[in-house]
Amino acid sequence: MVLREDTENREKQYLSTYATKACESRGRKIKEEKCSIRTDFQRDRDRIIHSKAFRRLMHKTQVFLAPEGDHFRTRLTHTIEVSQISRTIARGAGLNEDLAEAIAMGHDLGHTPFGHSGEAVLNEIHPGGFKHNVQSLRVVELLESASSSRRGMNLTFEVKDGILNHTGSVMPVTPEGQVVKTSDRIAYINHDIDDAIRSGIITADDLPADSIAILGDTHKKRIDTLVKDMIENSCGRPEARLSKEKADAMNELRTFMFKNVYHNEQVKRVEDVNKVRIIITSLYEYFMKNSKFLPEELLMMENEYPLEELVKDHIAGMTDRYAINTYEELFVARGWR
């Protein structure tokens, strides 16, 4: 039998000097008895995967609103791709694969329904704004419980830091968190190119020639190039990063995608974006006026948090179809549906 101590000893023996070892974690906010088999980072990964918030990612938009086809990415498939890329880089660079996987699995738990369109609306109407990475941290710290006796998953410091800082200007404190931060971009830029070509929004010939010459002319080649570059530039170093050449090429692709896909009216048709705005705004206003209809687990916190915070939590946790169904139940006459 391979016990937790055996795994922790292997980490000390085989991982990079700069890797984050499970036995050296800064720990959990609430102390727990150690698992006999799994390290703390492995337990964190399992708690995330078994959570309701993780399952809901299956029915949350990635980029394309209401896509007609079975092969477009969802927030869940994006998460799995980020995890796979992160694990490969971590393994190749001698970093802690379990920590990278746990961060990757949890990084988007706080995303709203309808992808970034939903996030933009909630950011406008909610006092103080809305950021999905901050909400992801709130999910694991408070809203999703791994035990009936306490709130939150009680994850380790390193996993929570990676989830919070997977996007934005602040870098995660661990190289594994830095791997996930870059892997998230590697994944979404390339799979969104794939989806955009499939939908006919762009063609492969439209992609910037300089970037393609450096990274490769297929989805597979670009991922392979970026992963290998990340490994080569992270081995034996305290920080995990891409080379400047590959990072610049990837950023050029990202700029192209924002200009030609993410803001393209065929991807986010005006009428669809307006529907998202109406749904999110209407639900927010309704629950602000009718808080008694919030879920019981949120009502239990009404003396601890402002009502608008709990309403935001409820809406951010909705899947696309649940938000639509709730809107129709509340605002659409039955005979008109």
pLDDT above 90 coverage of the chain, percent: 82
199/183 Cα distance (integer angstroms): 24
> Is 313:298 a contact under the CB 8 Å cutoff?
yes
Mean pLDDT, rounded, for 321-329: 94
DSSP bridge pairs for 59: none
Q: What confidence tens digit (pLDDT) does each residue in 134-179 have?
A: 999 999 999 998 666 789 999 999 999 999 999 999 999 999 999 9
Report the pLDDT value the prediction gives residue 149, as an integer from 0 to 100.
73
- The answer to pTM > 0.85 is yes
Query: Scanning the structure block, which residue is given the tokens 């791994």?
Result: 146
On whether the CB atoms of residues 66 and 88 are closer than 8 A, the answer is no
Tens of pLDDT, residues 182-238: 999 999 999 889 888 987 889 999 999 999 999 999 999 999 999 999 999 999 999
Euclidean distance between CA atoms 263 and 277, whole angstroms: 16
CB 23 within 8 A of CB 42: no
Query: Closest by alpha carbon to 267, among 68, 133, 51?
Result: 68
HEC profile of 155-166: CEHHHHHHHHCC
**Residue at 3: amino acid letter:** L
Return d(Cα 223, Cα 232) in angstroms, integer.
14
222-281 pLDDT, tens digit per residue, is: 999 999 999 999 999 999 999 999 999 999 999 999 888 877 666 666 667 889 999 999
Distance in angstroms (rounded) separating the CA atoms of residues 256 and 254: 5
pLDDT confidence band for 335 (50 / 70 / 90):
low
